Amino acid sequence: MTPSAAEGESAIVHREVRLREPRGDGLALAVAGDLLPDAAAVAGARAAPERHPWRPLVPFIAGHDVAVVGLEAPVTARRAPAVKAGPVLAAPPGSAALAAQGGFTVACLASNHVMDHGPQGLADTLAACTAAGMATVGAGPDLPAATRPLVVERPGLRLALLAVAEREFNVAGAGRPGAAPLDPWATPAAVRRLRDEGHVVVVLVHGGNEHFGLPRPGLVAACRALAAAGAAAVVCSHAHVALPWEAHEGALLAYGLGNFFFPVADPPAPGWDEGLLLSLTLDDGGVSAARLVLTRREAGGGVGAATAAAAAARLADLDARAAVVADPPALAAAWREHCRRRRPYVLADVLGLTRVERRLLRAGVWPWWRLPRRRLPGLYDTVVCDSLREVLETLLEEELP
Whether the pLDDT of residue 188 is over 70: the answer is: yes
How far is 15 from 352, CA to CA, in rounded Å? 46
Whether the pLDDT of residue 3 is over 90: the answer is: no
**pLDDT computed for residue 4 by the predictor:** 46
Q: How much of the chain exceeds pLDDT 70, in percent?
A: 97
CB 127 within 8 A of CB 143: no
Least confident stretch, 2-6, 136-140, 205-209, 252-256:
2-6
Q: How much of the chain exceeds pLDDT 90, in percent?
A: 82
Classify 42 in phi/psi space as left (phi over 0), alpha (psi -120 to 50) or beta: alpha
Structural domains in the chain, sorted by start: 14-326 (3.60.21.10), 330-399 (no CATH)
Residues 6 or more apart whose Cβ sits within 8 Å of residue 157: 24, 26, 27, 200, 282, 283, 284
| Structural Rg of the chain based on CA atoms | 21
Q: Residue 349's pLDDT band (boundaries 50, 70, 90)?
A: confident
The bridge status of strand 139-140 relative to strand 178-179 is antiparallel
3-state SS class at 160 = strand
Alpha carbon 203 to its chain centroid, in Å, reads: 11
The bridge status of strand 303-305 relative to strand 27-35 is unpaired
